[in-house]
Structures are given as structure tokens and as C-alpha cells.
A = this chain, B = another copy of it.
Amino acid sequence: GDALVDHHRGLRQGAPEVVFGEGKTSDQILRIAEGLLNAGSNMLATRLDADKASALMKVFPDAEYDPLGRTLTIVRHPPQSTGLGTVLVVCAGTSDLPVAREAATTARMFGNAVEELVDVGVAGLHRLLAHLDRLRSASVIIAVAGMEGALPSVIGGLVAAPVIAVPTSVGYGAALGGVAALLGMLNSCAGGITVVNIDNGYGAACAANRINRRPQP
């Protein structure tokens, strides 16, 4: 079975092992971080509360914490650029920003050039249409939206690039914690939209990274 196991995940996927902060104590994360940094890695922790973050920043003064996206990053070696195009993270409303930011930070940590476009929900189309050029020049688009989750469908009809849809848990009542947006995106009438889990900005960035770093001839 050895031939199967000789590639560690970092090499296989171009993605460092990322720490999922939720449900871990700052002590646990500290120990993991030390291990990763000693091994020469950069580090990304997601879903990290401000409390845990400040405990970590006392130990690692070069750490950066983004309270909006709830990510903490420690960059010792600038991530190797993927050499391809731009990952554009678009989001419908300001309430979707935490998820969009998690996606953007993750994609950057994987070496992608990332741009962000905020508050372009479909109930005010002119806001989106004002940015057609940026939409059409992106290499991959991550479209983040809660409530009815219509943004990816509209974008999917405007561009030829891959569109990764991220439903968010923004909304109440029949939003069902993001299930409404999820179902909307899965049933997009724009062909070729793909979807990740609710609030999964991290996963969308991983997918964008898989797309954007290909091919490496």
C-alpha cells in the first residue's frame, strides 16, 4: 500500500493543512500552530473567535487576525503564486461578508490573486452590471449569497468562467438556516454553476484553488 501514501496532502492538493478553530481551545491551537510553523509551514486558522485569536497573537506577534472573516494567518514564507488568473469573490449583501472574507483569505493563503466585490445583490441589478468588466476578466468567481441565493445564477449567465456558489445562513424563517439559498443554487437555471456547503467560504476557496492552479505544465 506504500505507493498510495507517499504524497502528503499539502503536495497532493496544493493546500496546507488548515486549522478549523471551532471547538478547539486556544491552547490546542497553539500547540498545532507551533508544530506547523516549526515544520516550515505558514498557518491559517478559520472560524476563530476574537478571544482565542488574541491569546494566539500574544505568542505569535506576526499573526494577523481578521475579525470579520474570523481568520488568523501567520505567513512566514509568501505563498507560491499559482501563476494563473484572479479569483473574484462576489457577495450579495453586507451580512454575507464574513463568509466572503473567509473565502478570500483562504484563497490568498493558497497563492491566488484575489479581488472582492461587495453588496451587489440581484434586487438592485445596476450594482452588479456596473462591474461587468471585473466579472468577465476573472479566472474563477466565488459567488456568496444568502436568502434566495440568486446571485450565482445571474453571474453564471454573464460570464464563461467557472462559478462556485456559496450559500450563507443569512436570513430567517423560511431561509431555514441557509437551506433555501442552497437549494436555489443547486437548481440554478444557469448551466455549470457548482455549489459548496452553507457558509463554507473555506471550501469554495479550496475549489477555486484546485481550478486556478491548473495546469502546471
Contact = CB atoms under 8 A, between A and B. Distances in A.
Contacts of A147: 187-189
Copies of this chain, count:
8
Interface in A171-217: 171-200, 202-207, 209-211, 213-215
Contact of A187 (B132, B171, B213): B171
A163 B164 CA distance: 12
A156 interface: yes
A192 B153 CA distance: 20
A123 B158 CA distance: 8
B148 A187 contact: yes
Interface stretch (A2-10, A35-43, A57-65): A2-10
Most central of A130, A178, A193 by chain B CB within 10 Å: A193
Contact of A154 (B93, B150, B186): B150
Nearest to A190: B123
A43 to B, nearest CB: 16
Contacts of A199: 172-173
A75 interface: no
Interface in A102-121: 121
A69 interface: no
A124 interface: yes
Interface of A: 1, 3-5, 9, 11-15, 18, 20, 23, 84-85, 92-93, 95, 121-126, 129-130, 132, 139, 147-150, 153-154, 156-164, 167, 169, 171-200, 202-207, 209-211, 213-215
23 contacts: A1-B3, A4-B126, A4-B129, A5-B126, A9-B124, A9-B157, A15-B191, A18-B191, A123-B156, A147-B187, A148-B188, A148-B189, A161-B214, A172-B199, A173-B186, A173-B199, A174-B197, A175-B183, A176-B183, A182-B186, A191-B203, A192-B207, A194-B207
Shortest beta-carbon contacts, A-B, top 4: A173-B198, A192-B206, A5-B126, A150-B150
